Amino acid sequence: MNQDEMKQAVAQAALDYIRPKIDDDTVLGIGTGSTANLFIDCLADIRGLLTATVASSEASAERLRNHGIPVYDLNAVDQVDFYIDGADECNAALQLIKGGGAALTREKIVTAVAKEFICIADESKLVHTLGQFPLPVEVIPMARSHVARELVKLGGDPVYRDGVVTDNGNVILDVYNFSIPQPLATEEKINGITGVVTNGLFALKPADVLLLGTPQGVKTLY
Ligand code: 5RP
């Protein structure tokens, strides 16, 4: 299996995982990115069973609507039962780096509400220590230089993601050369910098389940 086939396999595995648990009251949270897109396309097969979804980006909301799947504002639903999304990196504790698609803040908000976060990723995303993938940080535009200086003090090399404006109207700094042996402490430290909206570490609330695509098939990690 190549990487695309592994992504397809985990998208299908996520559908198989949630399908028996869906009823009329179920609200699905849907992530962003190429793996999440494959999952959205799988959902089209069961659109008749779906009463409500919420999306972590405008792009995913549009893709859902194009399949005829109902999308709601997060404020209009009482709960999110499952959140299904990809990751840029994951470790054995199911802590993640996300935000390669610049949707990290909305992803973190839907994660915070969700009862169960199911991460879907191919095995190239699994690492021993997070940080080989540059850590995305969403920043209020006027604080960009201040936050960059603070990130340098923490040991990273922040790079402005030129030309990218998030769905929330903010900018992204990607932190390179930043090994993260203590994801919980690092997530809290970066969130504490004035001007940071959020950072792409999902350690304080990691995934609950990781469906990992491997050439031998999909592995389920808890
Ligand atoms: C978007 C994300 C994505 O989940 C992450 O970038 C993985 O994307 P892909 O499934 O395309 O590899 O966090 O902000």
What ipTM, to 2 d.p.? 0.98
Q: Decide: 119 and 207 in contact? Cβ < 8 Å.
A: yes
Q: Is any ligand 1 atom within 6 A of the Cβ of residue 89?
A: no
> Which residue numbers are catalytic?
107
Q: Is 195 annotated as a binding residue?
A: no
What pLDDT does 181 receive?
Answer: 98
Nearest atom in ligand 1 to the alpha carbon of residue 31 is 4
What pLDDT does 33 receive?
Answer: 97
pTM equals: 0.97
User: Which residue CA neighbors atom 10 of ligand 1 most closely?
Assistant: 35
The 10s digit of each residue's pLDDT in 128-168 is 999 999 999 999 999 999 999 999 999 999 999 999 999 99
Q: Is 100 annotated as a binding residue?
A: yes
The 10s digit of each residue's pLDDT in 28-66 is 999 999 999 999 999 999 999 999 999 999 999 999 999
What pLDDT does 146 receive?
Answer: 98
Average pLDDT, the chain: 97
Q: Is any ligand 1 atom within 6 A of the Cβ of residue 138?
A: no
- Residue 189 and residue 151: Cα distance in Å, rounded? 10
What pLDDT does 91 receive?
Answer: 98
Say how many Å lie between the CA of residue 124 and the centre of ligand 1: 13
Q: Is any ligand 1 atom within 6 A of the Cβ of residue 32?
A: yes
Q: Is 101 annotated as a binding residue?
A: yes
Substitution site in 38, 89, 98 for ligand 1 pocket (most atoms within 8 Å of beta carbon): 98
Say how many Å lie between the CA of residue 104 and the centre of ligand 1: 9
Q: In what order do the strands lie in the sheet with 96-97?
A: 89-90, 96-97, 201-202
Helix/strand/coil (H/E/C) assignment for every residue in the chain: CCHHHHHHHHHHHHHHHHHHHCCCCCEEEECCCHHHHHHHHHHHHHHHHCCEEEECCHHHHHHHHHCCCCECCHHHCCCEEEEEECCCEECCCCCEECCCCCCHHHHHHHHHHEEEEEEEEEHHHECCCECCCCEEEEECHHHHHHHHHHHHHCCCEEEECCCCCCCCCCEEEEEECCCECCHHHHHHHHHCCCCEEEECEECCCCCCEEEEEECCEEEEEC
The 10s digit of each residue's pLDDT in 191-215 is 999 999 999 999 999 999 999 999 9
What pLDDT does 131 receive?
Answer: 98
pLDDT, average across residues 87-106:
98
Task: Determine phi and psi for 12, rounding to 5 degrees.
Answer: -65, -40
- Residue 183 and residue 166: Cα distance in Å, rounded? 24
Q: Is 81 annotated as a binding residue?
A: no
Q: Decide: 148 and 158 in contact? Cβ < 8 Å.
A: yes
Q: Is any ligand 1 atom within 6 A of the Cβ of residue 87?
A: yes
Q: Is any ligand 1 atom within 6 A of the Cβ of residue 100?
A: yes
User: Which residue CA neighbors atom 8 of ligand 1 most closely?
Assistant: 33
Question: Residue 155 contacts by C-beta under 8 Å, 6 or more apart in sequence?
Answer: 178
Q: Is 125 annotated as a binding residue?
A: yes
Task: Determine phi and psi for 37, rounding to 5 degrees.
Answer: -60, -40
What pLDDT does 175 receive?
Answer: 98
pLDDT, average across residues 84-90:
98
Determine the distance from the C-alpha atom of residue 156 to the mean position of all C-alpha atoms in its chain, rounded to a whole number. 22
